[in-house]
Every structure is written in structure tokens, then in C-alpha cells.
Structure 1
Amino acid sequence: MAETTVKRQTKTQAKVPLFITIWASIKAWLRRDGIVIMSYAIATILMSYPLAFKLGGHWLALRDTDTFVKIWDNWWLQNHAFNGPSLNFTNLQFHPSGLDLSYHSISWTVAFLSWALTIVTDAITAYNLTILVALFSTAYAAYLLVRPFVSYGAAAWLAGAIYSFAPYHLAHSGGHPDLVHLAPIPLAVLLLYAAFTRPSVPAALGAAFLIGLAGFTSLYIMVFALLTIGPVLVFLLLDEHRWSQPKIWQVVLVFGVVSVLLLSIRLVPILRDTSALTEAIESKYTADRSQTDLMSYVLPSHLNPLFAPYTKGIASRFGYMSSNWPAYLGIVPIALSIVALLWKKQRKTVLLWFSIGLIFFILSLGPVLRFNGNLYDNIVLPAQYLSWFPPIRAVGRPDFFVLGILLPVAVLAAFGFDRILIALEGSRRTQIALMIAIPGLLLVEYWSGEFPGISVNVNPFFEQLSEEPDDFAIIQLPMGRTKAKRYLYLQIFHQKPIVEGLSARTPLEAYQYIHNNPLLRNWSAGEPLDCDTLTWDRIMSALDQLIDDNFRYIVVHHPEPEIPVQFANYFPLQPFYQDSQLTVFKVADLQNQPPCQTIYKRVFALPSPEVSTSILWDQKISLLGYDLPDVDPEVKMLPITVYWQANEEIENSYVAYFHLVDLDTDEVVAQADVIPRGWSYPTSWWAKGEVVEDTIQMLMENVPPGSYELRIGWYDEETGLRLTAESDRVQPNADGSILLGVIDY
């Protein structure tokens, strides 16, 4: 009877619900690491200030324009990755050909994380949150790696702070999230240690999974992980003669096979075309000019407001890479690493991590020495002889290897700090003081000032595009890789294919369509219109192709109210849409009124304007009259149609200016400076007696209601000198302008 009762009690105890077991594990974890987790969370918020306080708005964390590409990556994966012919291809860029994304540095891990976060928030907030996750998880992962090897948790905490808050890592978190989610590396090392010391096949599987996760997070992080894991694996095999144990080789086999299988999912699409892979690698290989300046490791970061007055000038000599992404390791970590190297107790482990750090240090310096901004081509470094190795060459930029140095430095500094704390075990107060002072000093010297960001506001025109139901593509000017980053971000809102785009390694054939279309080729190069080389028939052929390939709009971006000069002559027509930032033309409208044909259509018949005038400028140009419709305040545009006449053959090109002047203050509140017909028909082309009709759209967006004088005049395009106005009805102003009329707005 008693025996039966015992059996029933045993069965009852065995049936503990799973959620209770999980909850008990969580409570045990929080009891163990709760303070560590909270302190890292606080440190993350402080070191990335004001990022955590800008969540939920239109503030985007941004140190580099690559941020726009990363947001596009997240959006594309969420909305289109499974709707196209391949995960590695998009037809939203480089329309109509599309773009191969095999060599693009998309972070699948970050994209999926962002996808999950957009369930509860918007895309910008989700992206900002991934930065906070990266900083926190990187720090905590390093802590978990180091904690079993040190006596004091404070030493392990310091390792996490070094690994995550180092200026180089912190700076890249504002522009390259695919580079800063480094947590898989220390966690893989931790599980590999567990797999070898027990030995444990499940731990080996976990380590292999993390290596695969590193590959899907970033190909760069995959390389850093392999260069870190390799020496650790050799060390664990040789240490205590583990290589002689059969079960260890089972662990090695499981780890190796599973790692290869997981990484093959990411790598097979890249390796399928070796010639394209070689082209992609070589296109981004910049080791000869992106070395890490040797001095940058010890020069305090110029991003730190405390050091900037003293170091900014020096850092500016280091070249783009070292000056924008400070490689400063810190006085505290370097000093503590030296202490660790002198510690006999942890000699083998210390030498392991010193060796790993040395590998990354050598690679980060590049093929030749750069010191204090000077390049010493005659001093060839070891990295020169390693550059043939595909994984190293694929990284492209030597300075990226600084990220690989951070974990060895963090581990060594933790050992050094642990040694000091052990030596002070007889003085608890001194220990506590150092546990507070050393991490505090580290955070102060690693501080990079306020986290950079911008307020992003999208022009309403792009949101209007998304509401147009038809499938069509758009062209955005100016073109170029840097501009394309912003255009990718705008695509999130208008969701239409675009003629250009980019990937981390954009293949040359992606530009074939642009180079084969004369108009697109000129726009891509920023070449002003020359009707002698780009004739009317070639323009019409180019426009026919654009129409056939379903391009509907040409969107010209301009920081100033007017279209950039290099594009203005291409558009001798009224825009479909215009505001202070954009001027938009329909491709079909341009096809109906193309450039380079107006010079053959001269008009000499006198017009019939609504208001006739008799105004003359320097006996060269007359204003015969104008049309001035009532202003609609909702449109925010004042259309002015004028009728000019050439009184003689004009040698120079003159610019007509239209000023809207406040009656009370005599201040110009709006203006338009134009060469007639959208900058396509300069006065030097006019024939004697020719009548030129032109319509000007004056932007009224910032003009308050009131009464204003409309004044017009001319000035020389090259010298800026104004022509003198003459009229028998109105007295010209001293500046050469003349009153056309009063506008009630």
C-alpha cells in the first residue's frame, strides 16, 4: 500500500506543466542576471541617447545614408521577398531589368526582427529598436561568454561594455546594422567551449546554429565569426589532448556538418556564378585606401565631445574610413589587457585571445602602413599576403576588421580587471570603488555624444503615387549611387519600380538599360542638354522606349525652388506637379513636347495677350503683354504667361526674373528666375522679330495672404548684370525691374 502511494506521488511530481517549468527557469535566470540585464539596458539607453526617447515619431537614427538602404531591405523582405521569382532578385529596382540581390548585404536576421516589430509599431520605430537590440544583445552576449572564466561579475560586465560600446561599433550602429549585431559570435564560442569540455552534441548543435545565424545576419559577421571560431576550435582540440578522445570528434563532426549546411543556404546563391562573384568582390575591394590608421587605435574618439576639441583635427588626417569610424580601443581596455598578458594563471586562455586579436589587428591595418594620415607604400604589412584568401578579400574594407578586434580586447580586459579584483580581495571597499570607477571611466571615454538622427518627412506626392492603381515606373533625378539610397527609402511609400537602385555590390550589367538609353545616360552623368549631340530624333526614340517600358513620371528633386541647371533644358513644358522640393513631369507629356525641336518653330505673328504692354530692355527684348489669371490660394502657384519679342539678334543668354514684393516692407516674398521655356530656349537662340511665349509658375507656398507688386526684369546669365527697362507708362525701378501689376493673394 505504501509502495503504491510512493509511485502515485512520483507520477504526480513528474506531471509538472511545461509553462511552470519555463517560468521557473525564467525566474532563476532573472535572479542570476537581472541586475546585469538592467544595467546593460540603462547603459544602452545612455550611450545611444536620445534614441530611446525618440521612439514612436518621425525621428530616424542616422549616421550614414546606408540607413535608408537598410530600411528598404527590411521593407522589401516583409512585402516582396516571397512574391518575386527569387529571394535574391527584385524587379523594383533598375526597372525594367530588375536587380540581382545575391551580393547585397541584406541582413535577414535584422529584417525579420524588424518585421516582427512592425506588428506593434511603424517601420522607422522598428528600425530604431533594432539598433537598441543590437547594442544590448552584443553586450550581454559578451558577458555570458566571459562570466564562467572570471571570478567577478564586474569583470564580465566590463567585457560586454567594451564589446558593444566601443566607438567603432557604436558609430556603425547608426548606419550599418548588418555590422553590429555581433551577439552570435561570443555565444557560439561559449557553446563551443561547452561542447568540448563536457563533451556535448546539443551544445555543438547550438554553436553551429549560431554560426548559421551569423551568416544570415551578415556575411561580414560570418567572416568575423569563422576567424574567431577557427583558433578557438584548434585550441580546444589541443588543450588537455582532447583530440585523442573519439567523442570529441563526434562533436567536431556535428558542429562542422551543421555549420556548413546552414551556411550553404546563404552562400550557394552567391557561389553559383564565380565570374559574377569575382566581379562583385573586386568592385568593393578597397584595401589600398581604407586601411585603419595605426594612430586611430590610441587617439580618443573625435565623436566624443570631451575629446573632440583636441582630436578632431588629428582624426581628419586619417582618411575617410578612420576619421568617420573611430577605431579607438580605449585607455582602460588597453591597460587591463596588458595586465592580463602578465597573468600566469590564465596564460593559455589569454594567449588564445591575444592571438585572435592579433589576427584581426593585422587584417585591419591593410596591405601597407598608414600612420597619422601618411601612407607608407614601402612598408608592406602581413595583410598584403593574406588578401588572396576569398573570405578576407570579400570583406573589402580592412577597417571592418576592427569589429573583430573588439571581442579579444573585451576578453583580455576582463581577465586583467579580474586579476586586479582578486589581488584586492583583502580590501572590499577598494574592490567596490574599482567596480564602479573602471566601468564608469570606460563609458566616459567611449561616449560618442548624442546619437545622430534626422526627422524624416516624405513629400505627399509619393504617397499620392501609391494610390494610383496602375503598374508603372518612375525616374528620379539627379541619379547616382548616393541619391539612390534616398530613392529606395521613398520607394517604401510610393511602392513603384524605379529606373535606378543599388545593392552592396551592384553588378555592372544592372546599368545596361540606363547606358543604352540616350536620355537616361545623359541624366545619369548630369550632362546639360546639347541638341547638337542629342538630337530631336534620338530624344524621341529614347522617350518611345521609356513609354514602352511603362515609365510614367520623371521626378526632379531640388533643394532650391528651381530645377537644377543641368536638367532644366530637358523639360520645355509645364510640370505635372511642382513644389519647393520636387518638379514632376509626365513622360507622355515630354513625348508630346520634347526638347530640341523648339528651335525649328519660330513664331513672328503678334500675340493677343490679356494685358498689352510696351516695355523694352536695353533695346533688345520687348514685353508685348501678359496673361495673369486669378490666384487660387489652394494651388500655391501663380501662373504668369508672358509674350517676349526679340528686337535684334541677341548674342548673350539672359535670365528673366519675376519678383513678388511686399507693398509694406518692400521685401521679396517669392521669386522665379528662368530662361524661357523651362531653360530650353535661351535668348541667344532668338531671331530678330521672333515672338516667344512662355509660362512661369511662381511658387507661393510660403507667401501669406495680402497685396503684392509683381516686378519683372532681365539679367545676363554669365555676369549677373541687369538690363535697363524702359516704358512710357510705368517708371522703372532703380534695379532695372519694372512693375507689371499688383497681385491680391
Structure 2
Amino acid sequence: MLIKLKKFTRETAVIAAIGYLVLILLLTYPAIFHLQDRLIGNNIDDWIFYWNNWWVGRAIAEGHSWFATDMIFFPQGTSLLSHSHSLLSSLLAWLLEPLTGPVAAFNLVWLWGLWLGAWAMFLLVRELTNQPIAAFVSGFVFAFAPYHLTQYLAHMHLGTIQWWPFYILFLWRSLRRPGWGNAGLAGVFLALSFWTGFQQGIFLGLWTAVYLLWWGWNGRTLPWLQTARQLLLMSLVAFLLSLPILWPMFNHLDELVNASNEFDESIIKQTDLLAYVVPPTYQPLWGEQMVSTYQAFRVNQAFMPYVGLGVLLLCIVAIWKQWREARFWLWSGLLWILLAAGSQLRFNGTVYESIKLPYNLIKSVFPISAVRTPERFNLLLVVSLAVLVGLAVSWLWQQRVRWLLALLGIVLLLDYLAVPLPMWDLPPTSPYWAEFAQIEPGAGVANYPMGYSQAKLLLYYQTLHGHPTVEGHFSRYTADTYAFINQDPLLHRLYSTDDLPLYLPSEMLSTFSEPIVALGPALRQLDEANVRFILLHLPYTSQEQLEVFDAQLPLMPIFKDEVLAVYDVANPRPWQFQPTKTLSDGIELVETALMLEDTAVVLQVNLLAQLTATNGIGRECVVQMMDGAVASNPVALFAVHEAWQLADLAQHQIALPVPENLPAGSYPLQLRCADETAVPLPDSLFVSADGQKRLIGQLANVQLGRAVQLQDVRWWLKGSQLHLSLHWLAKAAPQQELKLFVHVLDEQGQLVNQLDTIPCNWQCPTSQWQAGQTITDNAQLDLWGLPPGRYQIGLGLYDANTGERLPLSTGDGTAVAQNTYFLLESLTVTAAP
């Protein structure tokens, strides 16, 4: 009989394992079809855990400590002791990676954890109820409970609770059927939980304390001495297996305690009690209708502790009909709800500050303080709910009410349905990463855009290029973590004020609006810290962020494609697109760009200058009208208080006040220095007969078709970007939709680059132009990648429907060849000396 029972027990375990495999593959659709090209998850924190896998593999290969690194927050580095590790998950992924690749390894470990957790809960509840159907339902609830699933989709170190049911099972056995095996296995699974996530050890330690108190009070069957032996053995096994993690923690205990108490999140990241009864937003049938309700929540917008109608009904059945077996799971579940509520009660988005909760008493006690956010106690609630469901189903099965079980099963499935499973598309990549990984591998990089959340996603790229990065992510950061960024004048300016670390003073990393003047010394400071490259991630850079970057760093990349631009701080201008102009003895003018404020009160001249001799240091220059009537305040382009070296770059914004009552006419401008040298500026200030002011460049006055006249063209270079500002005059309303073309032709007249666009960057189609209207049209064309040589820039308009160019003629009616207007000055691309 015993042999038959054991055989039946093994068979049900195998059948359950196969059943869970099928169920998980179906309910995690489409994960199985995208193991290589998508990452399971829906939270930006997922990239932290993907990076963790890479870091652990690198640390093993190179013999580094797992708990400190200079690969992030370079060059100072950071401790990883209180980082969000899931070391066991990372080790499993490291073993799989040679066979599957890193993305599939991450996904397979995730799916395996979900499957193992369901099966483990099956084994636990089968032990408690001796009913495999009940146990199978419990495993499903444990795996797909919304809080567990939403935490698992975001936090590998919290969602990997698959070892918990094993630990509870063998602890339960060791206290009822004492023996070295059960106590030893309980210790093994406690250690595995600790290796999977440090905070899991805290949760299980607290669960164990509560269970032992309950067990001792209600029905202890072992003498205290024998109980103590079982617990001592379990603890010794867990301690020895966890020693590789515990030892560095013991050596830095003060650091861990201080980091755990750095921020109090119990008053903002507690569970909103209403969230227990609001279905998750990912539910495919009615989830969308819940979005507006979830907007009132805070942390539960992401981590959803919904109990579910079916689970709630089954819990009531368990309490009603299986009271003796259900008592511990009920009272412990209520305790976890109480702790998850944090320090102050929150309901439907409202915090009742006058209602102080028991979590206040323990929130500062280490190691409970390391849990960080009290809503995470809902993970323990999932265990209680799964067991209560098993007790209820067991009773219902005995009553032979199979139709009710079938109905409740459908309710459970619909309540917890998460199809399609959220997955990330992999960030776009560049073929250059493989080459870049071989360029000075120890040199640091700064990513742009910079920002606390953005840095999590950009960790993915570090797994491709392997260079240390000045930012990154560390779970328990302090002001010291960001010290290098804060103290560096350039990185400080590049940091996004919209994405600051949550618990640091906002003024610490506030972005300066004005560009850095001493650009050369700032770049050299980065180079001396071995931060050699700046990586501009174009798919994640907004137009506003790109303008900030260009204003701070008028550099040229050493590589660029649609995904990535790489800048070398030791070689900031590897190419020249036009010859420099000698401004003064020791000063070369590299770039100029003029802007007239909307109010036309101030004309701003942006200059990029290069120091070619020390006697240029301290020399003052002014912007003025050529007649000398109006001039700006003097500016020293290379101020004496900076540590200048030859070839250093400086950038300035010089403001020229514009008199209000200037007579109509054109006013040429120049830059004049104290040694009486002067350089004409490319644009003039134009005042129309009605007093309107604008900047004009190369006068064109050419006719395009019958309806449009090109009055003038301004152009300037900012790094490798060609900027054009055109003034069109609509003599009549155009009868067709026209597009602007800008062509770059080499010395053989071959087209090597081009821009085709609706005027005003698609914002002012010609079909909306009115007769007599003057249109200011700004366009940009990236010239990066042009080989050395001489180039002409031509432009015109063509019919968007037929592709036919509008005939172009000069003011006297002479037709222009190719119906293309060419800029008078050509571009000459040369490699920097």
C-alpha cells in the first residue's frame, strides 16, 4: 500500500509539472516565440537585472568581487552590497548564455522560475491537503497572482519566490517528522532564497518567526530541545551556504544599515487598500476600464495586489469549512496586509496621516529597513492566499461539487489572465558596437541623455560595448554616488532636470542653461579622469535634449548612424567643414551662428573659437555694426583665470543690443578685437520699410515657378550639422504641394547627400501659403560621413506629386541650370590636423 501511495505521489508530481509547463507556455504567450528578440517585463527596472546577469558573468570571468564595481559611476565606482541582485538567477543565466545568448537566457530563467514556483506550491499544498487537484489550483494562484506577477515583471530579485514553498514544506516536515534530511533541506531552500534575492531572506525570516510563534502556541508536538536542534541544523546549513554573500555583508554592516535607513519610503510606497479589489490593468477583457481607477494609486499603479473574486470566495470557504487548518494562513495573511499598508493608511489615493499603523514600530529596525517599500509584504500574502485556496478546493472536492469547482476555475483563470505577457522590444543597436568594444576597452563613457531612469535602459548598451560608464544604476544611492557627475562642469550641465534621482536635492544636479565657456579645459578634465567618450543615443534623445547637447558640446562625432553618435573628448573636432578664420593673433574663429530674439531687441552671436597662441588669452572682442554705431560689451574669449592650453576650444554667446528706431536698410556686422583685427560676420541685420527686423544672409531674389520667390538664404554649421534659414515670398498662393530639396554635390557633380522635406520641417505646407506672405523656413542636414573634398550645396522646390522641379530664374528672367540655386560658398571637408 505504501509503495502504491509513493508511486501515486510521484505520478501526480510529474503530471502537475507537465501541466504547469503547458499552462505557463500558454499563459505567457507570446514569450516562447520571442525568446531571442524580446525581453520579458514591462518596467524599466528590467534592464537593471539584464545588466546584473552581464556583470556577474564578467566578474566571474575576470575574477572581480561581485559586490563592488567601477563599471558604473566611473571613475569612482560603487559598492553593490545593497544593490538589487538576484545572484542565483544571474548564475543560471550565465550558464545558459553560451547556448542561448543573453536575452534568451534571461527569458528562460524567468519562465523557469514561474514554472518552478507553481510546482513547489503544488508540492506544499498536496502535503497539507493530500489532494492533487487542490494543490494544482494553489500552484496556479501562487504563480499568477497579480502582485507576484507584476513584481516579477519588474524585479527579478523579488519575483523569484519559487523557493519559498519548498522552504515552508521542509520546515513544516522538520517540525512534525524530525530528521536531519528535512531540516537540512529547509536550510538549503532558505539559502537558495537568499541567493535569489537578499530581501527574500528577510521575508522568510519574518515568516519563520511568525510561524514558530503560532506553532509553539497551537499544537507543538516536539519537545523544545528537539525543535531547537531542527532549527539549529536548518540555520547552520543556510548560514554556511549563504556565507559567500553574508561575509562581505558582515564586513560592511555599518554601510548596509546606513543605506537601509537613508530614505523612508513607508509613507509613500505603501499599499492602497482599494487596490486589493481592483482588477489589474493588464487583464485583456476589462483591464482598460480599470486604468482611471489605478491613476489614483501610487506604487500600486505598477505593482497590483488584486486578490481576485474567485480567490476571495475560496478563502471564505476555507475559513468557513476548514477553520482549524486555515487559521494560521488567515491571521498571517492579515498581518502581511497590515504591514504592507505602511506607516499611514492609504485608500483610493488619499493618505490618512492621522492613522498611524504598526509598521512605524519596525520600519527603522535592520534588516526590515532593507525591505525599502512596505507594499512588498504582499509577496507573503500571496503565499497565504495560495494555501487558503488549496484548503477550500480540497473541501469542495470532497463534497463532489465539481460544477462549482469548474465555475470557480473559470473565474480564477479570467481574474488572473495576463495574455499577452508584456515584453520589451530590444533597444535599437548599431553595427559599430563590436568595433567600439575594442577601442581602448578601459576608457570610460558618458551616455546622453543622462538621467536616473534613462540610465537604467542605457545599461543595455554597456553589455554590448563593455566600457565603464559615468552613470548607471545602484539601488541605494547617496550624494556620494553622483559626486563625480555633480562636480564635473560639463556632465553637470548635461544632466536632465526632468529625470533626477528621487531622493537627492534637486539643486545638486540642476542643469545650467548657459553653455560652458571653457570647453577645452572641461573636455580635458574628462579625459584626465579617463572618461574618453560621450555616447549620444539618438532614439532616446528628444529634440529639446538634442538642442541642449548641441549648445553645450559643439563637437563632431568620430562615428554616427541613425542609432548612435560617438564623440571623443580627446579629439573633439576630427573633421573641418570650412576653414577657420583668424580673428586675432592667437585666436581662430571656428564657427559662428547668429540669432535674433523674437522681440528683435537683442541679436545673439554664438561663437566657437580656438586658441592657437598664448597671447590670445585675455584678449577682448566685441560684436558691432560695421559703421561702429552699436557694439556689444567687450568679452574675453579666453579668460585669464582658466587653465588654457593650445588648441583649446571656447564658446561664447555675445549679445548685441539692437536700437529700436533703426532706419530701413541692411546693416553688416563684424567681430572686432582689441588689437583692431576684425572678421565680418556672415549675416546682416535687415530692417524693412515697416520697421520689421530680421537676419539675412546671401541675397538670392530668384523666382521659382510663378508663385514663389526665394529672397535670401542664411546658412551656418554647428558641428557636422548644416543649418539653413530661407525666406520665401509667396507672390501668389501655390496651386500644388511643393517640397524643398537640399542637395550636396561632390566635385564631379554627383549627389552624395540630400534632404527632402515639406517647408518648415513639415510644419508649413505650401498649400497653406497666402499671396503676399513671407515664410521663414528652417532646415537641417547632417553632413557627417562626407569624405574629404570640396562640395557644393544646391536647393530648390519640386512638385510633391510629380517630382518635377519648379523652373528657377534670376531677377532678370535668366533661367538657372538644373533649376537649382547654389550657395556662393562651397564646403571643404578636411581631417583635423
Please state which band the TM-score falls in when normalised by the shorter chain: 0.7 to 0.9
CA distance 1:576–1:254, shift in 2 (3 Å): same
**Which of residues 286, 296, 302 in structure 1 aligns to 2:281?**
302
Paired residue for 2:367, among 391, 406, 425? 391
Q: Which range is displaced more, 583-592 or 155-164?
A: 583-592
Shift of 1:604: 5.0
Match of 1:710 in 2: 795
User: Structure 2: which amino acid aligns with 1:452?
Assistant: P
CA root-mean-square deviation? 3.9
1:134 positional shift = 1.6
**Partners in 2 of 1:595 and 1:477 — Cα distance?**
21
Unpaired segments ≥5 residues, structure 2 = 498-510, 574-646, 655-670, 701-712, 728-735, 742-754, 759-778, 787-792, 798-808, 827-833
Distance in 2 of aligned mates of 1:216 and 1:524: 35
Secondary structure of 2:738 counterpart = coil
1:364–1:399 Cα contact (<8 Å) kept: yes
C-alpha distance in 1, partners of 2:284/2:30? 15
* Higher RCO, 1 vs 2 (CA within 8 Å, ≥6 residues apart): 1
Q: 1:316 to 1:643 in 2, by over 3 A?
A: closer
User: Displacement, 1:587?
Assistant: 0.2
Letter in 2 for 1:195: S
> What 5-or-longer segments of structure 1 have no aligned partner?
1-23, 425-429, 626-640, 646-653, 674-693, 702-707, 713-725, 733-737
Q: 1:303 to 1:36 in 2, by over 3 A?
A: same
Instruction: Tell me what 2:470 maps to.
Output: 499
C-alpha distance 124-385 of structure 1, shift in aligned 2 (>3 A): same
2:315 partner amino acid: S
Shift of 1:503: 1.4
Contact 2:318 2:326 in 1 (8 A): yes
Identity between Structure 1 and Structure 2 (%) = 26
Distance 1:26 1:698, change over 3 A: farther
Contact 2:520/2:650, CA 8 A, preserved across alignment = no
CA distance in 2, matches of 1:174, 1:185: 18
Aligned partners of 1:141 and 1:187 also within 8 Å: yes
Partners of 1:175 and 1:730 lie apart in 2 by: 68
CA shift for structure 1 position 75: 0.8
Q: Tell me the residue number matched to 1:439.
A: 409
- Asked if 1:621 corresponds to 2:668, the answer is no
Partner of 1:550: 530
Q: Given the alignment, which residue of 427, 432, 443 partners 1:472?
A: 443
Partner residue, 1:568:
550
The separation in 2 between residues aligned to 1:154 and 1:601, in whole angstroms, is: 90
Q: CA deviation at 1:256?
A: 2.6
The structure carrying a bigger helix percent of its residues is 1
The answer to whether the 8 Å contact 1:535/1:596 transfers is yes
Q: Secondary structure at the match of 1:389?
A: coil
C-alpha distance in structure 2 between counterparts of 1:106 and 1:657, whole Å: 53
Match of 2:421 among 451, 456, 463: 451
Query: Would you say 1:402 and 2:378 are equivalent positions?
Result: yes
1:68-147 superposed matches below 5 A: 68-81=47-60, 83=62, 85-147=64-126
CA–CA distance in 1 between the matches of 2:148 and 2:463?
A: 28
Distance 1:522 1:571 in 2: 10
Change (3 A) 1:269 1:388: same
Alpha-carbon spacing, 1:393–1:554, altered in 2? closer, same or farther (3 Å): same
Taking a change above 3 Å as real, the CA distance of residues 279 and 739 of structure 1, as seen in their structure-2 partners, is: farther
> Which of residues 552, 576, 580 in structure 1 aligns to 2:562?
580
Tell me, what secondary structure is at the counterpart of 2:429? coil
User: Please, which moves more after superposition, 571-580 or 308-317?
Assistant: 571-580
Partner of 1:629: none
What is the CA-CA distance between 1:232 and the residue it aligns to?
2.5
Alignment match, 1:676: none
| Structural mapping, 1:566-715, within 5 Å | 566-590=548-572, 592=647, 594-596=649-651, 620-623=695-698, 656-657=724-725, 666-667=738-739, 670=755, 697-698=782-783, 710-711=795-796
Question: Is contact 1:304–1:446 with CA below 8 Å preserved after alignment?
Answer: yes
Partner residue, 1:332: 310
Contact 1:301–1:448 under 8 Å retained in 2: no
1:402 alignment partner AA: N
State which of 49, 53, 58 in structure 1 corresponds to 2:33.
Answer: 53
Question: After the TM superposition, which of the residue ranges 175-184 and 76-85 deviates more from structure 2?
Answer: 76-85
Counterpart secondary structure, 1:575: coil
Find the aligned partners of 1:308 and 1:174 in 2 and give their Cα distance.
17
Whole-angstrom CA distance in 2 between matches of 1:277 and 1:249: 30
Shift in Å at residue 109 of structure 1?
0.8
CA contact (8 A) 1:333 1:409 kept: yes
One-letter code aligned to 1:258: V
SS of equivalent residue, structure 2 residue 312? helix
Which residue identity does 1:547 align to in structure 2?
D
Q: CA deviation at 1:301?
A: 1.7
CA separation in 2, counterparts of 1:287 and 1:310?
29
TM-score (norm 2): 0.69
Structure 1 position 700, deviation (Å) = 10
Q: 1:270 aligns with which of 220, 237, 249?
A: 249
* Equivalences, count: 633
The SS at the match of 1:583 is strand
Matched, 1:357 2:350: no
The one-letter amino acid of 1:336's match is: L
Q: What amino acid sits opposite 1:130 in the alignment?
A: V
Match of 1:256 among 229, 235, 255: 235
Question: Would you say the 8 A contact 1:196–1:251 is kept in 2?
Answer: yes
Answer 1 or 2: which has greater strand percent. 2
SS in 2 for 1:137: helix
CA distance in 1, matches of 2:454, 2:533: 17
Bigger shift: residues 72-81 or 385-394:
385-394
Task: Give the counterpart letter for 2:484 in structure 1.
Answer: Y
Judged with a 3 Å threshold, the aligned counterparts in structure 2 of structure 1 residues 239 and 265 are, in CA distance, closer, same or farther, namely farther
CA distance, structure 2, for counterparts of residue 731 and residue 475 of structure 1: 54
Indicate the residue corresponding to 2:630 in structure 1: none
Counterpart in the other structure of 1:521: 492
